[in-house]
Structure 1
Amino acid sequence: MTPYFETVKSFADVRITENGIDTHDFLDASDGLVKMFDLFGSTVFGFVQSDIKGNIAGVRARFESTREKSVTVERLVEEETKENKRVAIACLVRLVRGLYFTHQALENTQSDTSSELHVCFKRAYDLVLKHHHGFIVRNVVSVAIRAVPRRSDFFSCIAQGGSKEKLDVELRKWLDGLDGIVQRVSKFLKDGGYGRV
């Protein structure tokens, strides 16, 4: 079986020009991230997956209806703002927040190889999402995070029979690409007054 990171659009391959981040590539890579959660055959990550899927759909709806004005993520936001709308922008803010959470969780697994997955995801949640949620949601998320797979099972699923070395190389490229996109979009949204990730 082909390792997961070779079967989906990598964030490292999303086209970025002086005009911005290619919207189609960005959405494809985001879809790939959602598919990663499917590998576990469980609803453990359902809260993240559902949120990301809904926000991808919101950005995609705008992209599909105004393709010529939405070639880049930045242009999509600027054009929607001109129309005094904020539906796709709100979805984009939440989508980037979900991407940032996933990036931080996986980055934690790479930098702290002795910690179990639930510890890495809890750190990421506390940093990125906790302050956006009320008490009840925090408790639900806390329970869900404790149910994530073991570290070895997680990486075995993603490697899908491939070597650990190859997985580490592909995951590093994917994480670096994702980090660059999250940082760029976050700065653009904040600097333009469109929203804060």
Structure 2
Amino acid sequence: MAYPPGGTFFDNAKRSFSDVPLDEGKDNAISTTEFLDASESLTGLFDALGSMAFTPVKNDIMGNVTKIRNRQLESPLDSNTLQSLVRTELKTKKHTATEGLLWLTRGLDFTAQALRRNMDNQSEELSTSFRDAYGSTLKQHHSFLIKPIFSAAMSATPYRKDFYAKLGADQERVRKELETWLLALERRVKVLNEFMARKEAKW
């Protein structure tokens, strides 16, 4: 993966989750456009994992981003934030984008938990971190046909040293930037998990 000299993966990312507006004064409203851009950028991390086994994970995230973006294009005035997008779509008796956001949040939660575990346990290999994160997030929602596909991806992760090396040569900077990015992702996932659990987000 090509970066400027001394750069990291985050230099090339279209959008970081730390740049996604979150309005605490308006019930933690999350800006739709920036959130979708950051979610698309996140899939580049799966490229850094370097295995075709992660293609289904990446495609799942991108497919759900598309569902939400389609709703945003269909009704832009009602879709400035993810929460307003969900509320207004459900009033139409449809739930394509709302369901997409639910699954996108689950995918982001899985990624965040895997990376958090790996960051906090520096002797743990990625395969263990990703497998445990899968068990506590996506696995409970997947059918018996899907589980083996995702389990294969967990086993296909590279050694941790190789993965972090792909994120940039300056490992101190990689770790600092990944931590900032991850904290912002975790914050927005928490907000969305709480919102999607509400009655107003059910269909």
**TM-score, normalised to structure 1's length?**
0.93
The aligned amino acid for 2:181 is W
The aligned amino acid for 1:29 is A
Structure 1 portions without partners, runs of 5+: none
Structure 1 residue 184 corresponds to structure 2 residue 194: no
Match of 1:172 in 2: 179
Structure 2 portions without partners, runs of 5+: none
The aligned amino acid for 1:112 is N
**Alpha-carbon distance in structure 1 between the residues aligned to 2:150 and 2:22:** 34
Q: Give the deviation of 1:149 after TM superposition.
A: 1.1
Report which structure shows greater RCO (CA 8 Å, sep ≥6).
1
Structure 1 residue 10 corresponds to structure 2 residue 16: yes
Q: How does 1:98-113 map to 2 (within 5 A)?
A: 98-113=107-122
Q: Give the deviation of 1:7 after TM superposition.
A: 2.1
**Alpha-carbon distance in structure 2 between the residues aligned to 1:178 and 1:68:** 25
**Alpha-carbon distance in structure 2 between the residues aligned to 1:132 and 1:184:** 20
What's the % identity of the aligned pairs? 36
**Alpha-carbon distance in structure 2 between the residues aligned to 1:63 and 1:93:** 16
Pick from 59, 78, 84: which aligns with 2:93? 84
**Alpha-carbon distance in structure 1 between the residues aligned to 2:133 and 2:102:** 17
Question: Could you say what secondary structure the match of 2:197 adopts?
Answer: helix
Q: Is the 8 Å Cα contact of residues 20 and 35 (structure 2) preserved in structure 1? A: yes
Deviations 1:69-95 (A, max 9, x none): 100001000110111110000000000
**Alpha-carbon distance in structure 2 between the residues aligned to 1:156 and 1:110:** 14
**Alpha-carbon distance in structure 2 between the residues aligned to 1:70 and 1:193:** 16
Match of 2:65 in 1: 56
Question: Could you say what secondary structure the match of 1:135 adopts?
Answer: coil
Moved more, 91-100 or 127-136: 127-136
Q: Give the deviation of 1:34 after TM superposition.
A: 1.1
Match of 1:95 in 2: 104
Match of 1:70 in 2: 79
Structure 1 residue 122 corresponds to structure 2 residue 131: yes
Q: Give the deviation of 1:41 after TM superposition.
A: 4.5
Question: Could you say what secondary structure the match of 2:106 adopts?
Answer: helix
Moved more, 171-180 or 185-194: 185-194
Deviations 1:133-164 (A, max 9, x none): 233322332222111111111111112x3x11
**Alpha-carbon distance in structure 1 between the residues aligned to 2:132 and 2:60:** 19
**TM-score, normalised to structure 2's length?**
0.90
Q: Give the deviation of 1:191 after TM superposition.
A: 1.6
The aligned amino acid for 1:3 is T
Number of aligned residue pairs: 194
Coordinate RMSD, CA, aligned: 1.6
**Alpha-carbon distance in structure 2 between the residues aligned to 1:28 and 1:144:** 24
Pick from 129, 140, 150: which aligns with 2:149? 140
Question: Could you say what secondary structure the match of 2:101 adopts?
Answer: helix
Question: Could you say what secondary structure the match of 1:45 adopts?
Answer: helix
